[in-house]
Amino acid sequence: MKLIEKKITIIIPSRKIDKNLKFCVKKIRKFYNKIKIILILDYINKSFFFDKNIQIIKSSKKTIGAKRNLGVRKSKTKYICFIDSDAYPISPWLKNTEKAFNYADNIGAVGGPNLSPSSKNLEERLVASIKKNGLFTINKALKIKSQSIEFVNFLHSCNFIIKKTTYNRLNGMFENIYSGEEVSLNYKLLKSGYKLLSYPTIIVNHKDRNFKNFMKQRFIYGSTGLKLFIKYPCITSLKLLLSSVPVLFLFLFPIFFFCQQIKNITLFFFIIFIFAIIANTIKIYEKGSFFKSLKLVIISIISPGIGLLLSFFLSNNKFQKLYTQN
């Protein structure tokens, strides 16, 4: 048994046992036969034999943050590794865990790139392209391969390793939100003086969504932006909040346009807005996909703002249903 396998528990939140989850576990077992894995599920939809080192916990309909907190409470190892059910390792990504934590003093968490796998689906490829754009992702540097070790301000929870003692000291992730829960943990780590390290060999693939599910994801991001910024004010939560500005601008455009004092300024920003749509459409364009690319850019721009506006009217249960992929 590899020494690192005794020191890490992998926690995977999911709605149920599905093909993504089974594929993720299969890929993990390709590199680590005996490492402890904890699956946190809304419900156990079918009997499925994994192995004796896999623990399945029924959580009912809890948020992802609550599921991860539950998984950490059930773990008994020095390190905790989070990975999403629609992500998977492409190498023995945990082998340099201790080396990464020893890279400098006061490393609070380590992670690395979460890359888009190759796909035959045009919508998934276009989504993969737009997620490499700094306008539409929190940290675009984590969407590309890198050979450098870097201190960062944010690590995605789909590829995140932390000591259990540190996690408990910071009281884990914020539970009362359906997306962006890792913002709270990243914020608390940095606020407490810890460093976040991106390590190039700690790398996973993270499957991309189709347009419909990507739109839902962007919608939910927008709905959480204001709440996260108020509770955890930082660059990351500010980016989430600012993603809603275009829709707020469009919503107020008729009022601004007919106000003579700021009409010209309003028109200028509207032209910039249209130019940004076209420029980003061209940036992700594949041959024969202009209108699909245009559609995706519009979805990416307007969904967060709609999410923010509707967050004042929709219940948490409605947001959970919208965020959950079938």
> Encoding tokens for residue 305?
């703002």
Q: Are 74 and 36 in contact (CB under 8 A)?
A: no
pLDDT tens column, 80-96: 999 999 999 999 999 99
Structure confidence by residue, pLDDT tens digits, 35-71: 999 999 988 876 666 788 999 998 877 889 999 999 9
pLDDT surpasses 60 at 326: no
Cα separation, 320 vs 297, in Å, equals: 24
- In this model, does residue 323 exceed pLDDT 80? no
pLDDT tens readout for residues 253-298: 777 767 777 777 878 888 888 999 999 999 998 888 899 999 999 9
pLDDT for the residue 319: 65
Chain position carrying tokens 């032209």: 271
Instruction: Give the model's confidence band at 195: pLDDT under 50 very low, under 70 low, under 90 confident, else very high.
Output: very high
Type of residue at 139: N
pLDDT for residue 325 is more than 60 = no
Q: pLDDT tens digits for 166-183?
A: 999 999 999 888 788 899
For residue 324, name the pLDDT band (cuts at 50, 70, 90). Answer: low
Tell me the residue type at 218.
R
Q: Which helix (H) or strand (E) holds 227?
A: helix 211-231
Instruction: Give the model's pLDDT for residue 9.
Output: 97
- % of the chain at pLDDT higher than 70: 94
Residue with the larger pLDDT of the pair 138 and 110? 110
Q: What are the residues whose beta carbons fall under 8 Å from the beta carbon of 213, sequence distance 6 or more?
A: 325
Number of H helices, E strands in the chain: 12, 11
How do residues 17-26 score in pLDDT, each as one tens digit? 899 999 999 9
- 3 state DSSP class of 202: coil
Q: What is the pTM of this model?
A: 0.89
**DSSP assignments along 4-19, one per residue:** GGGTEEEEEEESS--H
Quickly list DSSP for 60-114.
-S--HHHHHHHHHHH--SSEEEE--TTEEESS-TTTTHHHHHTSSTTEEEEE--E
Q: Tell which wins on pLDDT, 8 or 248.
A: 8
Beta carbons within 8 Å of 326's beta carbon, 6+ residues apart: none
Question: What domains are defined for the chain?
Answer: 3-211 (3.90.550.10), 225-323 (no CATH)
211-231 vs 122-130: helix axis angle to the nearest 10? 30
Q: Rounded to an integer, what distance in angstroms lies between the CA atom of residue 108 and that of residue 185?
A: 10
Amino acid at the residue 245: V
On whether the CB atoms of residues 188 and 172 are closer than 8 A, the answer is no
Q: How confident is the model at residue 316 (pLDDT cuts 50, 70, 90)?
A: low
- Give the separation between CA 299 and CA 296, rounded to whole angstroms: 5
